[in-house]
Amino acid sequence: MRIGIVCPYSWDVPGGVQFHIRDLAEYFVRLGHEVSVLAPADDETPLPPYVVSAGRAVPVPYNGSVARLNFGFLSAARVRRWLHEGAFDVIHIHEPASPSLGLLACWAAQGPIVATFHTSNPRSRAMVAAYSILQAALEKISARIAVSEYARRTLVEHLGGDAVVIPNGVDVDFFARAEPEPAWQGDTIGFVGRIDEPRKGLPVLMRALPKILAARPQTRLLVAGRGDEKEAVEDLPAALRSRVEFLGMVSDEDKARFLRSVDLYVAPNTGGESFGIILVEAMSAGAPVLASDLDAFAQVLDRGAAGELFPNEDTDALAEAATALLADPERRAKLSERGSAHVRRFDWSTVGADIMSVYETVTAGAAAVAADERTTGLWSRFGPARD
Amino acid sequence: MTATLIWILVALVAIGLYLSWTAGRLDRLHARIDAARAALDAQLLRRASVAQELATAGVLDPAASIVLYEAAHAARQAVEEQREVAESELSQALRAVFGESQQVDAVKAAPGGEEAAVELAEAVRRVPMARRFHNDAVRAARALRRHRKVRWFRLAGHAPFPMAFEMDDEPPAALIERAA
């Protein structure tokens, strides 16, 4: 099958959506499909053979922050050329509602279009205003995929219609087979994520730490992720600061070893998560998971059966649960076992097959993807009839 | 005077273009519904065929065979108005027969049963998918067709008002759990 995938975010900036697309593309390439990914990228960045650059993304203020987006005449022309040259059986657009490549591709293409909605953005005012424009483009999508039940609910609320839920994929065995690192074992709590992004929840964990250390002084907190390390420990009493170790940015291999080694993985995120891939990775590595009870997390953890949940932002509850878990190796072993079994449904072999069923369902009996002549401009309307 | 005429002409052309664009949108939506409906039909038929095949293969006990055969047969024969009910009943029959994982294991153990079980699992998984895609297209078309401009200018032509396909498509739990 000839598959075209549209990535809305810069290929050179690491991010969840980009990794998802990379893994998906490589999974299909391994199965012998022809895959082409259209993504914004600097011209100097080395790209894998299946990625086509759509030009550099421009930083513009959008939705309360600066986003790097692709739009305008040149990008639209590149999308068109890619569609024309690719002659795809199906195109898979990620984040079609963000004003970037996804929306452009949606606008420019016709035929079987599959779209995945990753984030569960609260409805923005711009989106309400642009609703009718957006609707005309979004109604071309033949199949919508949401990454979680939670993301599906927001999608249905904001745009109407329906979607199937297919979770993000993880290479479970890559994490399950990683070699544990002895230096990271023994009464350790692990955290992976940006240090200076408050929604990742490190401050919550830092506030809970004194209580955990009061009960179990031998505990160490290991933090993997970039950000200002000094600022992160500022509120911690000076005597306790030595119990926190910063590992900085870690490679994929080290992340897997890290998750294999820690005695407890804590995800204190306070919001803004629509899936929680890190929890799946932690469970794949067999780490017992303790997470805040965000909707998305509760779903990934099977309502608390595959990992423990604590009330969001409740530092006392977090400290209590963490102390109890660290003191009870049997309970941790049980969580780890249940997590490892639960996580199989997020493996690429399952997720990839589901996405392929979506492709096959929408392409059955449909014509291939082509550039949509109707949107090339008003003049085409006056030209000679095409069909 | 001429200026006014020209403006009126420009306005009329603009309205005409807008209506033609809307009609194009609607046309595309109707095509999408047709494609989605064809895909849904294909998946439903496939599900009924595999179910019937399993029912007559002698791998199930006689009672389960009869229940499954009846439901699959009724689903295949159903006329358009009874289709939703018949397909829902097939879903219920499949859930009743394949409610236990032992039953699935027994089918897999029979010669050729592995393939049949995989195909049935694929079919019961794809029916809800195809149905969601179909109903999503129907919803989009209905939203547009209810709009004033479409009703006043009869942009939908003679195309029938699209109807969603409502049925119970809950797959049997034992069949779709894919513990590795």
Distance, C-alpha B127 to centroid of its chain: 6
Nearest to A361 among B130, B136, B139 (CB): B130
Q: Are residues A151 and A210 in the same domain?
A: no
Question: From A159, which residue of chain B is nearest by alpha-carbon distance?
Answer: B140
Residue B38 to residue A364, Cβ atoms within 8 A: yes
* Domain that residue B130 falls in: 19-175
Name the strands in the sheet holding A289-292, side by side, starting at the edge strand that comes first in the sequence: A244-248, A220-224, A188-192, A264-267, A289-292, A308-310
| Domain contains B54 | yes
| pLDDT attached to residue A386 | 39
| Domain contains B1 | no
| Domain contains A203 | yes
* pLDDT (average), residues B119-145: 91
| pLDDT attached to residue A18 | 87
* pLDDT (average), residues B16-25: 89
**How many whole angstroms separate alpha carbon B45 and alpha carbon B130?**
12
Confidence at A290, pLDDT banded by 50, 70, 90: very high
**Which residue out of B32, B45, B134, B146 would a mutagenesis test of the A interface target, given it has the greatest number of A Cβ atoms within 10 Å?**
B32
Nearest to B133 among A345, A361, A374 (CB): A361
Q: Are residues A99 and A222 in the same domain?
A: no
Closest approach of chain B CAs to the CA of A264, in angstroms? Answer: 25
Nearest to A161 among B20, B140, B144 (CB): B140
| pLDDT attached to residue A258 | 93
| Domain contains A179 | yes
* Domain that residue A285 falls in: 172-344
| Domain contains A245 | yes
| pLDDT attached to residue B149 | 83
| Domain contains A386 | no
Q: Are residues A213 and A330 in the same domain?
A: yes
Q: How many domains does chain B have?
A: 1
- Ranked by mean pLDDT, the top range of A65-74, A224-233, A373-382, B87-96 is B87-96
Residue A142 to residue B133, Cβ atoms within 8 A: yes
Residue B122 to residue A357, Cβ atoms within 8 A: yes
Q: How many domains does chain A have?
A: 2
Confidence at A380, pLDDT banded by 50, 70, 90: very low
Q: Are residues A337 and A245 in the same domain?
A: yes
Residue B42 to residue A364, Cβ atoms within 8 A: yes
> What CATH number has the domain bearing residue A81?
3.40.50.2000
| pLDDT attached to residue A338 | 92
Q: Are residues A11 and A85 in the same domain?
A: yes
C-alpha to C-alpha distances, A12 to A20, A41, A100, nearest whole angstrom: 14, 6, 16
| Domain contains B3 | no
Residue B32 to residue A163, Cβ atoms within 8 A: no
Let me know: does A273 contact A296? Beta carbons within 8 Å: yes
| Domain contains B8 | no
Q: Are residues A134 and A205 in the same domain?
A: no
| Domain contains B2 | no
Tokens of A326: 């660290």
Q: Are residues A318 and A192 in the same domain?
A: yes
Residue A362 burial (CB count, 10 A): 25
Q: Which residues of A touch B (CB under 8 A)?
A: 110, 135-136, 139-140, 142-144, 160-164, 341, 344-345, 347, 349-350, 354, 357-358, 360-362, 364-366, 374, 378, 381
| Domain contains A387 | no
Q: Are residues A188 and A271 in the same domain?
A: yes
| Domain contains B72 | yes
